[in-house]
Amino acid sequence: MIDFHVDRSSSVPAYAQLVRQVREALRMGLLHPGDQLPTVRSVVTACTVNPSTVLKAYRELELSGLVEARQGAGTFVSGSLGKADPHVMARLHGGLTRWLGQAREAGLEDEDVQALIASVIAEETQRQMRAGGTRARQSHGMAAEEGGVA
């Protein structure tokens, strides 16, 4: 089962933090289809949030096909995210934990780390898009040389 937490100092709304935690747990293989999410009441108590906050998070997860509410029984995981091998995820998690320790030793705070990771993701996405565009242009050009339609 997942233990929710809400960071009051974050600019991210509480319901979005709950949604993100479920999505992350699904990607990390901590939640699986059939698992039950905590009751609204228990999340309200643990996180000191309004019940409507939890209901909004669960509703968003339901609309995205990740959970289903069962009348009188609770909310259950019905979908999944990510297809990574759990062993690979564990190895990468360990490496990232070591890297984070180095970042902390270098004086980076949470926002610094998040900004650094976001910039690397953006750069890598752009690099992959450029590489994909180059391959598409190359294959398109080859088709034209072979008598295909350009």
Q: Is 14-77 in CATH node 1.10.10.10? A: yes
Burial class (CB in 10 A: 0-12, 13-18, 19+), 72: exposed
Element spanning 63, H or E = helix 51-63
For residue 84, the model assigns a pLDDT of 78
pLDDT-based confidence at residue 73 (cuts at 50, 70, 90): very high
Is the per-residue pLDDT at 150 higher than 50?
A: no
Question: Of 33, 58, 45, 51, whose CA–CA distance to 5 is shortest?
Answer: 45
Specify the range with the lowest mean pLDDT, choosing from 67-71, 126-130, 131-135.
Answer: 131-135
Phi then psi for 107, rounded to 5 degrees? 95, 10
Which of the two residues, 49 and 144, has the higher pLDDT score? 49
For residue 17, the model assigns a pLDDT of 98
For the chain, the domains span 14-77, 86-145
% of the chain surpassing 90 pLDDT: 75
SS3 43: helix
